[in-house]
């Protein structure tokens, strides 16, 4: 058991770090458990609901790694200092090198993971804020008889927004794309050629394919749920960009503002059908949680 003696100060140090935090968590959970909240129903999912959950998880993971990083050198130094004090002689350079190498590799590994998490969180935050913005703009459709739902959980993905009104059902996919910092001409414009989104510096076709695939999936889902066939029109929203595009079949594209263009067209759904579709969408948007998310 003598080999444990050098670890005693380190163990005491770790206990002093862990016990207060564990006590706070215990008290917090106990306080929460003593409360009975008046809400006894499943709430509708808001815009970017699944992204918000992922952002919260990443935030906690980043904070944990940020707390662990400074503890690594302190812990190793505590072990080293204790060994020197107990042995009354300097530790060999080989042992010291191993300490430094182990600490460096551990710190680099945690730092790399934290960097990846921070980068992912930044992208998720951009997507989340854009979905919130588009979700708020879609509230303009209410006076036109539309029902709007958000973050509809599907098989392994989420449909960002679903708008149901007299002009039909629309599956809206929102994509958050950051602009470049260079002050150049037209760096805020994107071109849509019917198949691809042409940004200043890069080209994407995934959002278009994704919107079409999700609308097709939703159409089949509604047929199974309501017993009737309903066409679902795909829509792509790219908030904050000036979009210069051409029509691409039924697909609509806009910059997230003034979604009332969806109300321009022939009436294909009466109030009875709108309520029927909204009933099934509403019910599904209140069922549990899923882990898939789209940026």
In a domain, 194, yes or no: yes
* Domain total in the chain: 1
- Full residue range of the structural domain in which residue 195 is found: 141-284
Q: Which residues contact 211 (CB under 8 A, 6 or more apart)?
A: 171, 172, 173, 234, 235, 236, 251
Q: Which residues contact 192 (CB under 8 A, 6 or more apart)?
A: 198, 243, 244, 245, 246, 248, 253
In a domain, 26, yes or no: no
Sheet containing 158-165: order of strands: 147-153, 158-165, 168-174, 232-237, 252-254
Q: What is the pLDDT of residues 11-23, one digit of tens each?
A: 676 676 667 766 7
Residue 291 has pLDDT above 50, yes or no: no
Q: How far is 165 from 161, CA to CA, in rounded Å?
A: 13
In a domain, 76, yes or no: no
Q: What is the pLDDT of residues 70-120, one digit of tens each?
A: 777 777 777 777 767 666 666 667 777 777 787 788 888 888 998 999 999
In a domain, 23, yes or no: no
In a domain, 264, yes or no: yes
Q: Which two tokens stand for residue 282?
A: 């509403």
How confident is residue 290, by pLDDT bands cut at 50, 70 and 90?
A: very low
What is the average pLDDT across 210-237?
93
Q: What is the pLDDT of residues 262-275, one digit of tens each?
A: 999 899 999 999 99
CB 12 within 8 A of CB 75: no
Please give the pLDDT value at position 23.
77
Tell me if residue 71 falls in helix, strand or coil. helix
In a domain, 135, yes or no: no
Residue 205 has pLDDT above 70, yes or no: yes
Please give the pLDDT value at position 87.
66
In a domain, 170, yes or no: yes
CATH number at residue 243: 3.40.1350
How large is the C-alpha radius of gyration of the chain?
27
In a domain, 167, yes or no: yes
């Amino acid at each position: 058991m003598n080999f444990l003696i050098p670890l005693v100060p380190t163990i005491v140090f770790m206990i002093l770090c862990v016990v207060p935090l564990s006590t706070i968590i215990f008290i917090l959970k106990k306080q929460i458990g003593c409360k009975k909240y008046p809400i006894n129903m499943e709430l509708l999912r808001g815009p970017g609901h699944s992204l918000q959950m992922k952002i919260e998880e990443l935030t906690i993971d980043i904070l944990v790694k940020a707390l662990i990083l400074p503890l690594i050198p302190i812990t190793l130094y505590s072990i080293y200092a204790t060994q020197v004090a107990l042995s009354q002689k300097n530790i060999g350079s080989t042992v010291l090198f191993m300490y430094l190498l182990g600490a460096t590799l551990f710190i680099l590994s945690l730092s790399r993971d934290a960097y990846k998490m921070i980068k992912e969180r930044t992208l998720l935050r951009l997507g989340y804020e854009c979905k919130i913005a588009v979700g708020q703009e879609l509230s303009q459709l209410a006076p036109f008889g539309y029902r709007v739902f958000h973050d509809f959980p599907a098989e392994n993905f989420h449909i960002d927004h679903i708008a149901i009104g007299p002009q039909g059902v629309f599956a809206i996919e929102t994509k958050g794309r950051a602009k470049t910092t260079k002050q150049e001409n037209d760096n805020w414009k994107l071109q849509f050629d019917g198949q691809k989104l042409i940004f200043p510096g890069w080209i994407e076709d995934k959002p278009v394919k994704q919107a079409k695939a999700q609308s097709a999936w939703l159409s089949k889902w509604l047929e199974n749920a309501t017993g009737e066939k309903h066409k679902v029109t795909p829509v792509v929203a790219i908030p904050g960009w000036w979009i210069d595009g051409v029509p691409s079949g039924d697909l609509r594209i806009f910059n997230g503002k003034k979604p009332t263009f969806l109300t321009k067209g022939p009436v294909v759904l009466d109030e009875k059908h709108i309520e029927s579709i909204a009933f099934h969408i509403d019910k599904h948007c209140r069922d549990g949680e899923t882990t898939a998310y789209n940026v």
